[in-house]
Amino acid sequence: MGHLSRDRRFTGFTVTSALTYAVFFACRSTSSFVLQDIYGALPTAFSLLFAANAAGMLLAAQLNGFLLARFSPR
C-alpha cells in the first residue's frame, strides 16, 4: 500500500473515484428531501423523477461503453 500511495497517478484516480462516489451517495440520500420538502414534489412525482434519473444514468453508462469501444480512455 505504501508503494501505491506514493504513485501520483494511482492516488489521483483513487481520490477522483472516491469523491465521485461521495457526491453520488450524497445526491441520492438528499434528493427525496430536496424534491419533496423544498420543491413540494408529490411522492408519485418524486418516484417518476427518480426513475427518469436512473434511466438517464443507465443510458449514459451504455454510451460510455460505446465510446470506450471506439476511443481509448486517455
Taking the CA atoms of residue 73, residue 3, residue 18 and residue 71 in that order, the dihedral angle to the nearest 10 degrees is 0
pLDDT recorded at residue 14: 93
Tens digit of each residue's pLDDT (9 = 90 or more) over 8-39: 999 999 999 999 999 989 988 999 999 999 99
Sequence spans of domains, the chain: 2-70
